[in-house]
Amino acid sequence: MEMTPVARTVLVAGGAGFIGSHLCEALLEQGHKVICVDSFQTGRRDNLTGLLGHPNFRLIEADVERLPPIRDRLDRIYNLASPASPPAYQADPVRTMMTNVVGTNNLLALAEKKGARLLQASTSEVYGDPQVHPQPEGYAGHVNCNGPRACYDEGKRAAETLCYDYLRAGRAEVRVARIFNTYGPHMQCDDGRIVSNFICQALLDQPMTIYGNGEQTRSLCYVSDMVEGLMALMEIAETPDGPVNIGNPREFTILELAEQIRRAVPNEARPVFRPLPKDDPKRRRPDIARAKSLLGWAPRVPLEEGLKKTVPWFAQELQRPVAASGG
């Protein structure tokens, strides 16, 4: 990864969330000044423990839809502000859409005003239920624009559109990362995603909940690899000609993932099968040729190792009375 030689002022919207909190930490470690903007809709103050007292860290509690004036000089803006797990983004779908459209527009306008470079956290969900596999960035996707996932998928697609409209108009320098399923510490036990559900269920000796027949696939990236990929994309000198997939191409069926997690946390309970949520993508795996050639980046943490680093986090989380409800 290209290292940044100068200390920058970096705004991280969504910095109290799962990925954002790791990103804030990594930026501080590199000597940058970090301003975290978060509404705590899905993020947690606890994720920032250790950062709140740091002299180069500042927290602004605000919604990106109503961004307060920021007086500081800004060099970089990472936009991670959006709920990310299906139950969280479907809980208030209109708000999800508005966060991604109005919030992204507000941050792009801020980037324009400050002359800052903006990295947008897009998603593999822009490919919808893909008919091309693995998914390269040139694939335009297969998204249902009025289904229950649309608030997120279409919100993120519209956010990409805004980014490239600002870029084409010369109003802001942007980078778009299409993030694939990511896991690690700072996820919440009850966020409804597969890794949090399966690990917490296993730790509580509850049955793992397999949606559908478990033959659908996902490819999971450990959070430190994700943060390295995002920072590398932000810092390459030349603006890439379009979005860049960041994810781990090792693909598993959901049944295989249940088995991998059972190896990390032995669980005697037999899995139970639940209905497949509507529009749940059947398979997903990033084509990361572009990230490799442009950024010299590839994930380094294998699933077995990433799970070993993640299980203790959930074990500790389950000691918190509020989190101990499993998946």
**Given the residues 89, 127, 152, 166, the one annotated as active site:** 152
CB 151 within 8 A of CB 167: no
Task: List the one residue from 9, 104, 106, 123 that touches ligand NAD (CB under 6 A).
Answer: 123
**Strands 217-219, 251-253: parallel, antiparallel or unpaired by DSSP?**
antiparallel
Q: Does the annotation mark 183 as catalytic? A: no
Region 5-24 residues binding ligand NAD, contact defined as CB under 6 A: 13-14, 16-20
Query: Letter for the amino acid at 221?
Result: C
Task: Note whether 89 and 148 are within 8 A (CB).
Answer: no
110 CB burial (10 A radius; 0-12, 13-18, 19+): buried
The listed partner (ligand NAD, ligand UDP, none) that binds 16, CB under 5 to 8 Å by sort, is: ligand NAD
Instruction: State the minimum distance, in angstroms, from the CB of residue 227 to ligand NAD.
Output: 11
Secondary structure (DSSP) of 200-241: HHHHTTPPPEEETTS--EEE-EEHHHHHHHHHHHHH-SSPPS
The listed partner (ligand NAD, ligand UDP, none) that binds 280, CB under 5 to 8 Å by sort, is ligand UDP
Question: Which of 28, 35, 42, 97 is close enough to bind ligand NAD by CB under 6 A?
Answer: 42
Cβ contacts of 80 within 8 Å, gap of 6 or more: 12, 13, 14, 15, 17, 19, 20, 23, 121
Of 40, 17, 11, the closest CA to residue 179 belongs to: 17
Given 47, 197, 248, 310, the residue binding ligand UDP (CB under 6 A): 197
Which listed residue (81, 210, 230, 303) binds ligand UDP by CB under 6 A? 210
Q: Which is nearer to ligand UDP, 56 or 206 (CB)?
A: 206
Q: Is 86 one of the binding residues for ligand UDP (CB under 6 A)?
A: yes
Bridge-based pairing state of the strands 76-79 and 117-123: parallel
For residues 9 and 99, which CB has a smaller minimum distance to ligand UDP in the complex? 99
9: phi then psi, degrees, rounded to nearest 5: -105, 120
Residue 298 gets the label, from left (phi > 0), alpha (psi -120 to 50) or beta, of beta
On whether the CB atoms of residues 89 and 144 are closer than 8 A, the answer is no
In the list ligand NAD, ligand UDP, none, the entry touching 216 (Cβ below 5 to 8 angstroms by class) is: ligand UDP
- Asked if 41 touches ligand NAD (CB under 6 A), the answer is yes
* Listed ranges 33-41, 270-278, 279-287, 307-315: which one lies at the site for ligand NAD (CB under 6 A): 33-41
Among 10, 27, 48, 63, binds ligand NAD (CB under 6 A): 63
Alpha-carbon distance 68 to 207, whole Å?
45
Residue 196: phi and psi, rounded to 5, are: -65, -45
The CA-CA-CA angle for residues 223, 314, 277, to 5°, reads 75
Q: Out of 209, 224, 253, 260, which residue is the one contacting ligand UDP (CB under 6 A)? A: 209
Angle (CA) 199-205-211 rounded to 5° is 55
Q: Does 99 bind ligand NAD (CB under 6 A)?
A: yes
How many residues bind to ligand UDP according to rule CB under 6 A? 15
User: Mask: binding to ligand UDP, 277-316, rule CB under 6 A, as x and -?
Assistant: x--x------------------------------------
Catalytic residues: 152
Binding site for ligand UDP (CB under 6 A): 85-86, 181, 193-194, 197, 209-211, 216, 218, 254, 277, 280, 327
Binding site for ligand NAD (CB under 6 A): 13-14, 16-20, 38-43, 63-65, 80-84, 99, 103, 121, 123, 179, 181-182
